[in-house]
Chains A and B, each alone.
Chain A
Amino acid sequence: MNERNDIEALRARLEGTRGREYWRSLEALSETTEFKDFLHREFPQNASEWLDPVGRRGFLKLMGASLALAGVSACTRQPIEELVPYVRQPEELVLGKPQFYATAMPMNGSGMGLLVESHEGRPTKIEGNPDHPSSRGSADLFAQAAILGLYDPDRSQTLTNLGEIRPFSAFVAAMKQVMTAQQAKQGAGFRLLTETVASPTLAAQIQELIALYPQMKWAQWEPYGRHGAREGSRIAFGEYVEPQYAIEKADVILALDADFLCTGASGLRNARGFASRRRFEGDRAQVNRLYAVESNPSNTGSRADHRLPVRAAEVESLARAVAAQLGVSGVTAGSLPDAAARWIGPLVKDLQANRGKSLVIAGDGQSAAVHALAHAINEALGNVGATVSYTQTPEAQPSNQLADLRQLATDMNAGTVECLLIIGANPVYSAPADLKFSEAMDKVGVRVHVGLYEDETAARSHWHIPETHFLEAWSDVRTDDGTVSIIQPLIAPLYSGKSAHEVIAAIGPNGERSGYDVVRAYWAGQRLPGAEPAEETAPAPAPARSTAIPAPAPAAAAPVAAGVAAAGASAGTTTGAPAENTTPATFNPTPEKSAFDRAWRKWLHDGLIQNTAFATRPVSLSGAIPAASTVAATASGTVEVIFRPDPSVWDGRFANNAWLQELPKALTKMTWDNPALISPATAAKFDLKDGDIVELKQGERTLKVPVWIAPGHGPDSVTLSAGYGRTRAGRAANGIGFDVNVLRTSSAPLFSGGVQISKTGDTYELACTQDHWSLEGRNLVRVGTTTQFQADPDFFKKMEVEAPPTLTMYTDYKYDGYAWGMAIDQNVCTGCNACIVACQAENNIPVVGKTQVLNGREMHWLRIDRYYSGDIENPDTYHQPMPCQQCETAPCEVVCPVAATTHSDEGLNDMVYNRCVGTRYCSNNCPYKVRRFNFLLYQDWDTPSLKLQRNPDVTVRSRGVMEKCTYCVQRINQARVTAKLEDREIRDGEVLTACQATCPTDAIVFGNINDPNSQVAKLKKSERNYALLAELNTRPRTTYLALVRNPNTELEPAAPARTEGEG
């Protein structure tokens, strides 16, 4: 790779550039490795300073250095001084107007199509891509929080070798030696460990590498991946396939420990399908019925019409019993507890009555056998082809990850591994404890870790290379149905990170290539119809069409690479030359575009490659379902432990994301911790209270963890959620929670029985945001059954508490123009929490930390209240999203002494931060307690990277000021500007509040209630519509649609009409 200053090559390079290119020397121009080294070494002190929580001075110095060197590697005419605005404004970039770019987020062997809002080159907010078949404009909580992950100041920022900062070229040189040595033995000593790869390009790159080093081994490791699902499909069909569910077509659904509504890449699609069968407005579809068998309470279970809590190990016997009763061959039912046996009778009848219109779904936390049983039941019910079809898997190479990881550990222990390259994964933290991965890893000669954080694995590695975040590098990913999305960066790498593509390329035969080149070349080589390959031309992320977003970016024409260009000024350019920066995009006659160019632009613009969804693959049941594993009854003093990814931080990869840490988990409302969940009965049995620390013991492995009582949890079992107890995750995550992986073994990664439990007598403080479970008999959540509602459409209206007659001196204000309002359909809300994170990202809401949450000072503008009713061991669970109710006669307004909260002429209850002196009287007088007070300075005013994230349209609040939900007034105002310019009214659906935009089930609908044709006005006319605490005469603008359950009358005899919410 030693490039010489070949004059011919330099000339060619100069010819290949457009616009004015600054170069200092021939070395600079040729971008030799030596010169890049020189650049890297020039500011070693400053570079190390960067690691510290830098002061403003240090940051500015680095900024200065970046700018001074901008000419070396940057291409376009960048302003070279900080305060000079765009001399020539890039086309389509209007300062203050955001642009939207389509991209995708890879996770867990799949991806999610996204649309990212970018303000002058800095991405600030993530939405779902409305054009993408899976996301359809919504996004889950992880995608919503990913924007904070990008700007996380604790991300690793420098490439290190044994703790010393080194340039990438040094790594490349070192690897070259390793790989040359490996060539002789065909790579027998080389191992690659990645997360589940869903990127076709990366998979192809790895296959190329394997072709070159046939003896090398590639393992994938996803600690909470879809292991059971994959192996289950192999048992059932003899091959790895992905079931694609058509939830909207199913009349009866049985979820076997499956949280299909809220987890996984298909969660959004599933939730949407489910919701489409739970609406009562418009054309009334037949309501579906959901049965859930669950070991621990999940969002899906909370939406079930019938829910049966069991131990995780019993799910299999239950599935067997159902299969046997449905006549699946080769399955015999074992014995079942009485309650379960009674429960499945009517269920089986219901499934049988709905052949071809039913669906059985097994969860990722269940064994391969349960998945195989689910496939067999679906087959027996004739659902295949109707409600479920099979395709190849979105992950490029499905494999038995546990076996591969175990093999890797064995090889390492045997000393046959000379070089281990880990990309993305964090096995030292996440590998099952029995593999003793970190000790095994110590026996490897060269250990390389590529990751976003200098984590536990990085600490054990010789080399650590900061990985790029998906928002700052080129890549691609297959989403759940196989549709390919090109991942385009929104900003140049903040910390000189390298993407997996670049690392793999660098150790490959062709040497370093930019991720852009790699991805583009791969797709050029695919020869997709309409996209014949062509010469490389101008790369430019194309702004997406953004129909559902206020102030849409103008349609794509020839935009400058706004994200990349602006980022060049902040951090990217000192570190060498990402390819997209070397070739200018503007100021040059546009060359003729090839078909591939046009297709590529369209892919980027749309956020997906059309027609790449997998075709249905015909499958046939081949394998026999393995015989029932015996479910041992729990011995006294022991419990079953269930390992689950955490609902907020997943397997720990989001542990340092403070938004997710402070997000109250959907069912426990727990923040900043991962207590072990137990049922009330188990708690009583072992005499445990919330926060009591127990010791769990299995063999020599022990874990001390506090317990939390979760109504509806399965009996005699304990759910442990992963992702906590991190030691090197960053400032937010280090030292909080408990590392449950110490109990997890590769033989029982899902659940394990016979774990001894004993009370230690110690207690631990847990920060829960909702202490109170019960509705106290209050008429807050209105619930009925389909029978009740169909028999009497006024059923819910009759629950109304009569408001006292209004005695007022003031006449009602007449709203002539817009009157904004919101309707929240509780019947389709799954409590998935995405709206809370979306709100936090949109509205610059600070996190406050565990002690402040303990003190009741969390700042979320939108919370989801969770109530239980009925039997404490198996309660009905309700989710009630609670934003500001924007009362017409708002109790907060009259009591503010300085008129800092006032009513707008569109009915919004405005909050004037500048005027607020912070008496908190408004909060006291708010019956819904949706107001949030800055008791201390909660906003981080100092960390530079976090400043980039903030939404410039929303005030960053200081201490002493009250705040609350504004109905995303900034979005309303943006839409108003657009509408006024076009001389029209704001259209219905033009303003989507942040919570509404991300909601996969459209449970939140916002709009102008003065317009009788608006969706919200129609919903407010629904018989299910009610205002919360209407009897107080607050006349809220936010109203709720009552819950209608659809129980099986055999399991639940028709209840007499309930007129009060249950307590």
Chain B
Amino acid sequence: MADPMQHSHHAAPAGDGALAALRARTPEVIAPGHTFESVTDSISHIVLTKRTPIGWFIGFAFAFLLLMLLNVTVAKLLMEGIGIWGNNVPVGWAFDIINFVWWIGIGHAGTLISAILLLFRQQWRTSINRFAEAMTLFAVACAAMFPLLHTGRPWLAVYWLFPYPNSMGLWPQFRSPLIWDVFAVSTYGTVSALFWFTGLVPDMATLRDRAESKVAKKIFGAAALGWRGSARHWHRYEMAYLLLAGISTPLVLSVHSVVSFDFAVSVLPGWHATIFPPYFVAGAIYSGFAMVMTLAIPLRSVYGLDGFITMRHIHNMTKVMLVTGMIVAYGYFNEAFFSWYAGNEYEGYMMLNRMEGPYAVFYWSLIAINAVMIQLFWFRSVRDNIALLFVLSLLVNVGMWLERFVIIVTSLHRDFLPSSWDIYMPTRWDFAMFAGTMGLFLSLFFLFIRFLPAIAIFEMRTITPEAKLKHHG
């Protein structure tokens, strides 16, 4: 078993009294009493145990059922066409793109936690980065289905959207934001996968060494890529991880900016807005943290990981949500303000239609959640209330889904010429597809929890008091 190299700079100067008081009130990033041994044991046990908890089976069965629903929906979609959904003219995009943006937004927390917080040396990220990254990957997988399957002829879209040399000399149209999307999302997916896997390698070796079953040894062994924990290994690992973090960092900002270009580049009132990139990125991080919270709260209570995912994490995530949520709320305010201030009748009508039109209830629900409800996060009592936070984080996910619905559907359904105005009504297949992607996401997540260490073992060891001792010693 390899010991992690220690190079922590835990040399915080003793601050003044207030700071000390604050520190005292701030929960630790790891529960007291954890040692290298206990960390390794308790995390690897989840994977290596022969007794799968019955709850896992129930949860997985539910997720798998939804996954099968996805299969049925996709099969029907390919056989009959996207007419099985409710999309029409003028509402050419609806659940398909709403879900795409929603999933890709959720993915954002993973990269932010892994890359940016790493670069900023936020130690608390250590407990949550592994499953946040996994969540990112699975969310991107769900998201990526939509741009492909929402096309009329996915069997052609699957390769025509990529630049490949062909006898007809045809290239994609590089002016289209959809092409930017292809690059943004595929880069993001690739880098996230690499980042995640790189981070897994030392833990794979741990599991390889601790596994009792031969098959498990073989599989973990292969995944560990011959990791032996030598100093050279650690050196290269650290370098690679840092580089990948460097590469990922701009992606956190770029991916959702590009996704927002799908809208901002168009001429449609409600889409054509310069605030979209920052507002989308903030929204993505906001929803991503909400999803991390949604997953972390049950995870820590079911598997007894509250020693690793402590109240410190919960508080920090809530605070990130509060900040990004406020940015999003500012975005809403800004949209409303400029639709009035610009004096453009189409913009003005678009905003009025959001507020008073047939979909007004969605708009006001979204404002209630994303602008009003999040103010609760200011209160420490709320931040301490795990059950309430779970409900609120779910609501944030709903709110962010509604935001995309409002942006996409209410802008499209009434645009310039009143003659082409229409109403969009989702069909049961729209819901089936959405539920199906949740099935895919949850299935993958259940498998991940069962077969891979959901928390980075070796990184957790670096934040145990033991590691600090060693360093100081």
Query: Cβ of A770 and Cβ of B178 under 8 Å apart?
Result: no
Give the segment of B86-94, B127-135, B372-380 that binds chain A. B86-94
Q: How far is the CA of A891 from the CA of B86 in the complex (A)?
A: 24
Query: Cβ of A855 and Cβ of B419 under 8 Å apart?
Result: no
Contacts of A773 in B (CB 8 A): 418
CB closest chain-B residue, reference A921: B178
Does more than half of chain A's interface fall in helix, strand or loop, or is it mixed?
loop
Contacts of B154 in A (CB 8 A): 917
Known: A772-B418, A778-B345. A925 touches B266 (CB 8 A): yes
Contacts of A1029 in B (CB 8 A): 416-417
Query: Cβ of A899 and Cβ of B170 under 8 Å apart?
Result: yes
Contacts of B420 in A (CB 8 A): 865, 928-929
CB closest chain-B residue, reference A931: B89
Give the size range of B's interface with the partner. 35 or more
Whether a CB of chain A sits under 8 angstroms from the CB of B267 is yes
Contacts of B226 in A (CB 8 A): none
A899-941: CB near B (< 8 Å → 1, else 0) gives 1000000000000000111111101110111011111110000
CB closest chain-A residue, reference B160: A898
Whether a CB of chain A sits under 8 angstroms from the CB of B83 is yes
Contacts of B175 in A (CB 8 A): 894-895
Query: Cβ of B417 and Cβ of A919 under 8 Å apart?
Result: no
Contacts of B424 in A (CB 8 A): 856
Q: Which of B90, B267, B419 contacts A866 (CB 8 A)?
A: B419
Whether a CB of chain B sits under 8 angstroms from the CB of A775 is yes
Q: Which of A894, A960, A1028 contacts B82 (CB 8 A)?
A: A960
Contacts of A924 in B (CB 8 A): 90, 92-93, 266, 268, 412
Whether a CB of chain A sits under 8 angstroms from the CB of B182 is yes
Query: Cβ of B416 and Cβ of A962 under 8 Å apart?
Result: no
Q: Which of A867, A894, A931, A959 contacts B419 (CB 8 A)?
A: A867
Give the segment of B145-153, B297-305, B322-330, B463-471 that binds chain A. B145-153
Whether a CB of chain B sits under 8 angstroms from the CB of A780 is yes
Give the size range of A's interface with the partner. 35 or more
Q: Which of A857, A863, A865, A917 contacts B153 (CB 8 A)?
A: A917
Whether a CB of chain B sits under 8 angstroms from the CB of A961 is yes
Query: Cβ of A898 and Cβ of B172 under 8 Å apart?
Result: yes
Whether a CB of chain B sits under 8 angstroms from the CB of A1050 is no
Whether a CB of chain A sits under 8 angstroms from the CB of B415 is yes
Whether a CB of chain B sits under 8 angstroms from the CB of A897 is yes
Q: Which of B90, B157, B161, B346 contacts A929 (CB 8 A)?
A: B90
Query: Cβ of B83 and Cβ of A775 under 8 Å apart?
Result: no
Shortest CB distance B31–A (Å): 50
Contacts of B349 in A (CB 8 A): 776
Q: How far is the CA of A929 from the CA of B416 in the complex (A)?
A: 9
Query: Cβ of B417 and Cβ of A959 under 8 Å apart?
Result: no
Shortest CB distance A1040–B (Å): 12
Whether a CB of chain A sits under 8 angstroms from the CB of B37 is no
Contacts of A771 in B (CB 8 A): 421-423
Whether a CB of chain A sits under 8 angstroms from the CB of B156 is yes
Q: How far is the CA of A30 from the CA of B86 in the complex (A)?
A: 63
In A931-981, the 8 Å CB interface with B consists of 931-937, 959-962
Contacts of A929 in B (CB 8 A): 89-90, 415-417, 420
Shortest CB distance A289–B (Å): 28
Shortest CB distance A1046–B (Å): 25
Q: Which of A777, A855, A867, A932 contacts B345 (CB 8 A)?
A: A777
Q: Which of A772, A777, A897, A937 contacts B178 (CB 8 A)?
A: A897
Contacts of A178 in B (CB 8 A): none
Whether a CB of chain A sits under 8 angstroms from the CB of B80 is yes
Shortest CB distance B273–A (Å): 14
In B232-284, the 8 Å CB interface with A consists of 262, 265-268
Q: How far is the CA of A918 from the CA of B156 in the complex (A)?
A: 10
In B37-85, the 8 Å CB interface with A consists of 80-84
Q: How far is the CA of A933 from the CA of B419 in the complex (A)?
A: 18
Known: A772-B419, A778-B345, A1032-B267. A897 touches B173 (CB 8 A): yes
Query: Cβ of B153 and Cβ of A915 under 8 Å apart?
Result: no
Q: How far is the CA of A826 from the CA of B87 in the complex (A)?
A: 32
Whether a CB of chain A sits under 8 angstroms from the CB of B177 is yes
Query: Cβ of B415 and Cβ of A918 under 8 Å apart?
Result: no
Contacts of B262 in A (CB 8 A): 921
In A831-869, the 8 Å CB interface with B consists of 852, 855-857, 863, 865-867
Known: A891-B266, A925-B267. A775 touches B418 (CB 8 A): yes
Q: How far is the CA of A925 from the CA of B171 in the complex (A)?
A: 22
Query: Cβ of A927 and Cβ of B417 under 8 Å apart?
Result: yes
Query: Cβ of B83 and Cβ of A891 under 8 Å apart?
Result: no
Whether a CB of chain B sits under 8 angstroms from the CB of A896 is yes
Does more than half of chain B's interface fall in helix, strand or loop, or is it mixed?
loop
Contacts of A899 in B (CB 8 A): 170-173
Q: How far is the CA of A810 from the CA of B423 in the complex (A)?
A: 37
Shortest CB distance A768–B (Å): 10
Query: Cβ of B86 and Cβ of A855 under 8 Å apart?
Result: yes
Query: Cβ of A917 and Cβ of B156 under 8 Å apart?
Result: yes
Q: How far is the CA of A694 from the CA of B125 in the complex (A)?
A: 67
Q: How far is the CA of A1032 from the CA of B345 in the complex (A)?
A: 12
Q: How far is the CA of A934 from the CA of B152 in the complex (A)?
A: 8
Contacts of A928 in B (CB 8 A): 416-417, 420
Known: A898-B161, A927-B415. A933 touches B176 (CB 8 A): no
CB closest chain-A residue, reference B82: A935
Query: Cβ of B81 and Cβ of A897 under 8 Å apart?
Result: no
Contacts of B90 in A (CB 8 A): 856, 923-924, 929
Query: Cβ of A897 and Cβ of B89 under 8 Å apart?
Result: no
Known: A772-B418, A897-B176. A962 touches B81 (CB 8 A): no
Shortest CB distance B199–A (Å): 33
CB closest chain-B residue, reference A930: B420
Whether a CB of chain A sits under 8 angstroms from the CB of B336 is no
Q: How far is the CA of A919 from the CA of B182 in the complex (A)?
A: 13
Q: How far is the CA of A773 from the CA of B349 in the complex (A)?
A: 16
Known: A895-B176, A929-B420, A936-B81. A960 touches B89 (CB 8 A): no
Shortest CB distance B151–A (Å): 5
Whether a CB of chain A sits under 8 angstroms from the CB of B382 is no
Contacts of A774 in B (CB 8 A): 418
Query: Cβ of B418 and Cβ of A932 under 8 Å apart?
Result: no
CB closest chain-A residue, reference B86: A855
Q: How far is the CA of A895 from the CA of B92 in the complex (A)?
A: 14
Query: Cβ of B88 and Cβ of A856 under 8 Å apart?
Result: yes
Whether a CB of chain B sits under 8 angstroms from the CB of A882 is yes
Q: How far is the CA of A915 from the CA of B161 in the complex (A)?
A: 11
Shortest CB distance A377–B (Å): 38
Which of B152, B154, B268, B345 has its CB near the most chain A CB atoms (within 10 A)? B152
Shortest CB distance B162–A (Å): 10
Contacts of B177 in A (CB 8 A): 895
Known: A897-B161, A917-B156, A919-B157. A925 touches B417 (CB 8 A): no
Shortest CB distance B176–A (Å): 4
Whether a CB of chain A sits under 8 angstroms from the CB of B179 is yes
CB closest chain-B residue, reference A914: B156
Query: Cβ of B88 and Cβ of A855 under 8 Å apart?
Result: yes
Query: Cβ of A772 and Cβ of B88 under 8 Å apart?
Result: no
Contacts of A777 in B (CB 8 A): 345
Shortest CB distance A445–B (Å): 53
Contacts of B265 in A (CB 8 A): 894-895
Shortest CB distance A1036–B (Å): 12
Shortest CB distance B421–A (Å): 5
CB closest chain-A residue, reference B424: A856
Residues of chain A touching chain B, judged by Cβ–Cβ distance below 8 Å, are: 770-778, 780, 852, 855-857, 863, 865-867, 880, 882, 891, 894-899, 915-921, 923-925, 927-929, 931-937, 959-962, 1028-1029, 1032, 1034
Can you spell out 23 A-B residue pairs with CB atoms less than 8 angstroms apart?
A: A856-B88, A865-B417, A865-B419, A891-B266, A894-B173, A899-B172, A899-B173, A916-B152, A917-B153, A917-B161, A919-B157, A920-B87, A921-B176, A921-B266, A924-B266, A927-B417, A935-B81, A936-B84, A959-B152, A960-B81, A960-B82, A1032-B267, A1034-B267
Given contacts A856-B91, A959-B81, A959-B153, 5 further A-B contacts (CB under 8 A): A917-B154, A917-B156, A917-B161, A933-B89, A933-B152
